[in-house]
Every structure is written in C-alpha cells, then in structure tokens.
Chains A and B, each alone.
Chain A
C-alpha cells in the first residue's frame, strides 16, 4: 500500500515535433495529489498518457504497479477518468449513461444499474438521473462525468479540471465531493487544475508542471515552508531608514516603498525586534501580522515568478 500510485521515469510525450512532456520523472504517492500548472503545462497530456491514450516517445510509466505500455486494460479497469472537456454519449439519460459506463468497465448488468443509482445519488444527481444528459447545466454535466468515473469503484481517479465552468456553489460542492472521496473513501486521486485554491482545498500533495517538466513536487505543507516566521508590516515614517536597520540586523527585507513590507525573522530571534528597530528608526508600525504562506507562493516560486 506504500507503493506509489503512479511512477514516471523519463517520460517524453510529443505532438508531432512539439514536446508536451519533456523527460518527466516523478512519483505520485497514494492520497489526494494535485497536478498544478498553467494552461499548456502538460497536465492533460500527462493524464492521457497515464491512461494509455497517448503513447510516450520515450520513458516508462507504472500505474498501480502495472506498466501502462504492457497492461493498459488492467490499468483502465482500475482507474476512473473525468475528462476536462464536455463528454457524454448522446441521447442517453444520466442513469443509462452511467450504467452503460459501468458495463463497459466489466460490471454485470444488474450491478451496473445498482451502482449507477448509488453513484448518481452520491454526486447529487439522484433526482435528475432520468433526464437526458444533453439537457443538463454545465455543473450537472461535470457531476455526471464524475459519476461515470466513479461507477466501477476505481482505485485511482484522474480528475481533469473538475470545477471548470461551475458556479461558486457548485464548485464548493464538487470540491467537497473530491475531498470526501480522497479522505473518507480511501481512493487515490490526481486532481489536475490551474486553480490553486481548488488544489489547496482538496489535496495534500502537489506536483507542479511547467512547460512540460516538473517544476516542483512534494507535500503542500512542506512546500509552503515554516509558517509564522515571515511578517507583513506597514509602517509610517522613513521607510528607507527602517529597511537599512533591518538589513543591518541581518534580517531579510522585501517590499516596495509605500507597500506591505515582508520581513523574515529567524527562529532564534523574537518578532519584538521589529518594534525595537522601528523605534530606533523613528517609524511607526501601523500593521503587523504573521504571513501565512500559500500554495500561490509555492506556485510562483516554482514557475520562477519570484526570486
């Protein structure tokens, strides 16, 4: 069970001459893993390669212990996939669509029907399950895509932009579902998104892709770094003198004049020092609070937006 859910070793995937993934080597542990990256970073390509839908030009991929190039059907029987784009089978109700997907995954007809009912209730479409999918709103279509991915009870779930196009309430409900699946149902999931709050809410581990390569990866808590040691300040008075005083004490100072100042205070120094330095510099501290590092900081660092 401690074996990683997904292992990539030197994987390159190309569309013609364009390399969408470049020599990617990374391990996805069990649990809820966020796959972050700006548009065009290679997130969807990575998921499609892991499903065996896009063959890599080089490298090896193992999913749940199976080599995808040798046993694609064994992998697909154990994973669920919620595609990014609108995808359904025309002319079907949600119930018939989901039960059909269950049968395609190998479930006997009676079990497929029972599972379809259960899963549609689980995703919140119980009352609307006999409506044609084509009449659904965007949010409902997202839910039915999640239902078809869950219906055969996969060990691993690939969710490609699951909150795309949803309203705030629907988005919150979808994220609650995603978190419930990972935290309470013991399912490993890989959530691909460019929305940092979604990943931060639902996942505990993140892989950041940028231009087809892994920019950073690890547990979100570890990547964010120690909390409470960076302080945000606003001061009134001669800021330049204050900045010099801080630097003279060997502390790290960041900020533009008139804007919020960020100061890193090491473990062995007290934040009281900031008040002492302010008094010495003749400036008034108008605002001070510990800075909470966010996934956005991690993302920006990984993408090289911040020194």
Chain B
C-alpha cells in the first residue's frame, strides 16, 4: 500500500486538562450503544411499565378521582422500581458485559492507559456508561411519574404529604444502579469474553435468588437473603420506602452485605484493570 501523503503537520491547537478521560470514555460508550437498534428497542421496551403506570396515574387523579385501586401512593413508586429490576437485568447484561472484557480481549487497555488518563478515569468512564442507561430506566421514569402525578392532579399536595418520596426514589434507584453496574463491571474485568461475563452475571443473579428462596423456605431463616444480591437489594428498597423487614436485625446485616459486595467489586476492578498483565 503506497504512502499517499508524507505531509505531517504539528498540532498547534488546545488540549483539555488531564482528568477528563472518564467523560470521553462514557460519551463514546453511550453513543456507541445508542447506534444499535436492538439496544434502542430494549430501552424503549423498558419504558413500557412507565406508560402503564402513567395511564394508571391519569385514571386515578382525573377520571376516577380517589378510587382506591388507582390512587397513587408511595407503594406505586416502590413497586414500579422493583418491577424495573427485570429491565435493569437485561440492560446490564447487554450494555455492561463487554465494557471491560472486550477491551481486555483486544489489548485495548494498554492503548487507554498509555494516554493521559488514570485507571480510575477508565473505570469511572465505563461505570458511567452503564450507570447512565440504568438511571434512564429507574430514577428518570420514576421521577417523571411523579411529575406526571403533579401535572394530572394540578397540585403539589401529594408530594408535600409524602416528603420522603423524592429522596426514597433517588436512593433506591441509586442502590439499584450501583449494584448492577459495579457487579457487571467487576465480572467483565474478570474475563476476556463478554458472553462469559454475561453468563456469570446472570448466573449469580438467578442462581443466588433461587438458592435464597429455597433455603429460606426450608430453614425458615431470613438471614439467607444475604446470599442473594438482588434479594438483599429488594429488602433495602422496601426499607427505604418504609416497609420494614420481618426481622429488623436482617436490615443491618443487609446494609453491611451490600457495602461489602460493592467494596469487593471495587477491589476486583483495582486488581484487574492494568495495562500490563503481570504473571509472576
């Protein structure tokens, strides 16, 4: 192949300050995913429950005002967030499994880390890519439902009478997003195959959930919930919305288990994201 042009020119333009690599990575990651029609379809599908809930709110606040079945409550938002877990699961697998695994497979980490970005920048950028999609199917539609409730009812009474609703939606969404994105990213960093990372994530979520259910049923001990990240999360979300667990001692342990799991994910990422794999 001939060299067409030997004219290399020096660059005289500006450069951004160091430390913004995370934004470049996240921006690229989001746009890259949004170019895929299948993923767009999945995102749209993830909003189907929102449409159903919006119709329910409309009926409850305008058509059949005060009807018990349709009347909005904190429970409406809690169940909405819990139902969105299914879409969180699929979006996490679709958008998150390959985030680090494909970079490891194609030796891209040494390209990234030879640029003026740190490992934290890299991890932060990848984390943000997935987290943004998860926020788009949890916190954002939940808050939009609240806005719709205000618009349909024409007053702020509902929000004023439920002062903890906005912080509860925000906190519950953040826990959901943090758990899914950190777990997926850590698993993605353990493999060079996105399929394997996806299978590991699905395996942990499904298998641990089934095992927890079986063990709790057989032994009657609610502490088994701690072996399932998803059920532990569910317990925390319930508590945030004011639904206490049967055994309050479990709650403290659930918080600790959740924190340990996130710390383990961070530790895994810290150990696995390197430009050079040192085999001593």
Query: Could you list which residues of chain B lie within 8 angstroms of chain A, going by C-beta atoms?
Result: 1-11, 13-21, 24-25, 28, 32, 102-103, 105-108, 110-118, 274-276, 278-280
- By the criterion CB–CB under 8 Å, are B106 and A88 in contact? yes
6 contacts between A and B (CB under 8 A): A15-B279, A53-B275, A103-B28, A106-B17, A173-B3, A176-B3
Q: How far is the CB of B271 from the nearest CB of chain A, in Å?
A: 15
- By the criterion CB–CB under 8 Å, are A89 and B3 in contact? no
A123 within 8 A of B: yes
- By the criterion CB–CB under 8 Å, are A91 and B1 in contact? no
- By the criterion CB–CB under 8 Å, are A48 and B9 in contact? no
Q: How far is the CB of A194 from the nearest CB of chain B, in Å?
A: 19
- By the criterion CB–CB under 8 Å, are A106 and B1 in contact? no
In the complex the two chains form, what is the Cα distance from A74 to B114 in whole Å?
11
- By the criterion CB–CB under 8 Å, are A53 and B114 in contact? yes
Which A62-93 residues have C-beta < 8 A from chain B?
73-74, 76-77, 79, 81, 83, 85-91
- A residues in contact with B4, CB < 8 Å: 121, 124, 126-127
Q: How far is the CB of A171 from the nearest CB of chain B, in Å?
A: 12
A108 within 8 A of B: yes
Which A159-200 residues have C-beta < 8 A from chain B?
170, 173, 176-177, 180-181, 184-185
A296 within 8 A of B: no
Complex: chain B residue closest to A87, CB-CB:
B107
In the complex the two chains form, what is the Cα distance from A150 to B7 in whole Å?
13
Tell me which of B5, B8, B20 has the highest count of chain A C-beta atoms within 10 A of its own C-beta.
B8
- By the criterion CB–CB under 8 Å, are B20 and A106 in contact? yes
A22 within 8 A of B: no
In the complex the two chains form, what is the Cα distance from A108 to B11 in whole Å?
12
Since A83-B111, A87-B107, A177-B3 are in contact, a sample of 14 more A-B pairs with Cβ atoms closer than 8 Å, ordered by chain A residue number, is A53-B274, A79-B114, A100-B24, A103-B24, A104-B112, A104-B116, A105-B115, A106-B20, A107-B11, A118-B9, A119-B8, A126-B5, A128-B1, A148-B111
Complex: chain B residue closest to A180, CB-CB:
B6
Which A106-147 residues have C-beta < 8 A from chain B?
106-108, 111, 115, 118-119, 121-128, 139-140
- By the criterion CB–CB under 8 Å, are A90 and B106 in contact? yes
A41 within 8 A of B: no
- By the criterion CB–CB under 8 Å, are B16 and A108 in contact? yes
1/0 per residue, CB under 8 A from B, across A28-65: the answer is 00000000000000000000100101100000000000
- By the criterion CB–CB under 8 Å, are B7 and A170 in contact? no
- B residues in contact with A269, CB < 8 Å: none
- By the criterion CB–CB under 8 Å, are B3 and A124 in contact? yes
Given that A51-B114, A106-B16 are contacting pairs, would A122 and B1 also be in contact in the complex, using a CB cutoff of 8 Å? no
- A residues in contact with B106, CB < 8 Å: 86-90
Of A107, A127, A128, A173, which is within 8 A of B15 by CB?
A: A107
- A residues in contact with B113, CB < 8 Å: 51, 53
- By the criterion CB–CB under 8 Å, are B279 and A74 in contact? no
